[in-house]
Chain A
């Protein structure tokens, strides 16, 4: 006799079940990050206080991913929309979710200034080392030698500069008494959960948090599972995975 297990999909309360099938490519990092984020929001019971903002880039595909009030904005502009919300409605746990292009190229002035002022929000940059949505061009975080559509022979740092280090940059300017800054990776979602927990707790207490998550884009990388994993390991050598700034007393 065959018995089937009645297993329901493991959805967090902060995930929108009605959104249907994932809009991301199979194997994409965005889904892993968002699912972990949703789970952390559940754990901290922030569902009623959270407002989620997504950028243009593949992050836009999350416009109805969360079972949270959500606003999808313009490319690079998620940070000001969300700090606009939290300034106007303090107590809101604002989350600005974007890619490396949105965070470090077109929206860099918001990244820098929100960090300097240590605005009350969590900024998440999903770093997949390229412009995913527009077809895989070089982004500020493309690694030395990495092939993209606009660096078909590999990124030449002599010509295009060195990859941007978001977490290091933010940690050097954010207010140490208000901030939590870390880099995590989709290679370890349990650790990402811990990082998000601290980041969200800090924001819920009125602080500023920044989390860069090393992510994967198998579509534009043209990698299979093994290749994707290998690339992620290379990224972890290039971009140090650790906490850069932890406000005293934050656990």
Chain B
């Protein structure tokens, strides 16, 4: 059993990466496997610094391939294990992530996005949105929370473990280096004090009982002989995924009820959008925000309702429309016109959004 560091509400001024390490401990995570990559390094630094107090485990692996696969090993051994990565690390970890998808392994990973493609920049982007939702040679049977600040990092890191172990789909907390590196005040708490009980983490390998006496040997695999056999399995996964989606989907609306211009943004860009909404409203423009918190699965019904109510929509991202693409597919049939404000690998400020919405109001979109 690991020792929990936070036993009562504690207000702290921390970097996001530190918050994630504390959250993992609060969630009683027992093991972290990882490989250094900016901007997530301080998650493992903090985790390691706390080890004498937490009595948890850590392994620095030889790369993200092994970080992903050894995390799977730890989880199969019945530990609440996790990893964290970014950018090119996220790319090569897809191998393990797709195995987790196929074998319904409760894989938990914090993704701190950086610029791409390739090595690109090391601190910020929203360009791992598509990769984190749909990477690997599969169908994206994954759950992805996109956070917008330090309290989110704490709340959703804890939640990621429970979601993963309850539904057995790999679960990701998608953030970025801005969130990881900047300092903000945050309230750390014991999940118990919020009525949160951690899901049990039964071992798949070396479960209790003597083989052949109390139980049969466990044989886990990800290979199938027949196409039909695979489809049958995946059809079942889809049913589970759809059922889970209704319970897991989360979103946040900010002044969206009567919004004429609806901004759709996720992660930290949604925070810029909130400032923009206030500024625009002060100028007499009825703006509002729809922020999907689960970007996979997307909260489709509430998003469709919000879009239908609005006169115009603005998609804005620090990427070239990765979220927009995912949303537009789900908004099929609606006729609300939209415009875009995409800055590839660059932060979107409130001012950027205000300026864009002002032009939209003057000149209505026709797409």
Contact = CB atoms under 8 A, between A and B. Distances in A.
Contacts of A81: 69-70, 72-73, 76
A83 B204 CA distance: 15
A103 B73 CA distance: 18
Contacts of A67: 211-212, 217
Contacts of B81: 84, 88
Interface stretch (A70-78, A179-187, A206-214): A70-78
A114 to B, nearest CB: 8
A53 to B, nearest CB: 8
Contacts of B76: 71, 81, 84-85
A18 B207 CA distance: 20
A167 to B, nearest CB: 20
Q: Chain B contact residues (Cβ within 8 angstroms of A): what range?
A: 35 or more
A77 B65 CA distance: 8
A85 B66 contact: no
B35 to A, nearest CB: 11
Contacts, number: 132
A13 B78 CA distance: 25
Interface in B38-86: 57, 59, 61-63, 65-66, 69-74, 76-79, 81
A74 B65 CA distance: 11
A113 B63 CA distance: 10
Nearest to B215: A69
B205 interface: yes
Interface string B73-113: 11011110100000000000001100100000000000000
B283 interface: no
Interface stretch (B219-227, B257-265, B295-303, B314-322): B219-227
A109 interface: yes
A179 B78 CA distance: 27
Interface string A77-94: 101111111111100100
Given A67-B212, A87-B31, A72 B73 contact: no
Given A72-B222, A84-B74, A113-B66, A66 B217 contact: yes
B223 A89 contact: no
A109 B65 CA distance: 10
A47 B211 contact: yes
A70 B222 CA distance: 12
A113 B69 contact: no
B62 A72 contact: no
A63 B223 contact: yes
Nearest to A49: B206
Given A51-B206, A89-B78, A80 B73 contact: yes
Interface in B198-251: 203-207, 210-212, 217-223
B62 A109 contact: yes
A60 to B, nearest CB: 6
Nearest to A92: B206
Interface string A83-116: 1111111001000000000000000011011000
Nearest to B99: A74
Nearest to A93: B206
A80 B223 contact: no
Nearest to A112: B62
B156 interface: no
B192 to A, nearest CB: 24
B62 A69 contact: no
B60 to A, nearest CB: 9
A66 to B, nearest CB: 7
A56 interface: yes
Given A80-B66, A84-B72, A60 B211 contact: no
Interface of A: 13, 16, 47-49, 51, 56, 60, 63-64, 66-74, 77, 79-89, 92, 109-110, 112-113
9 contacts: A13-B212, A47-B211, A69-B219, A73-B69, A77-B99, A80-B70, A89-B205, A109-B66, A113-B61
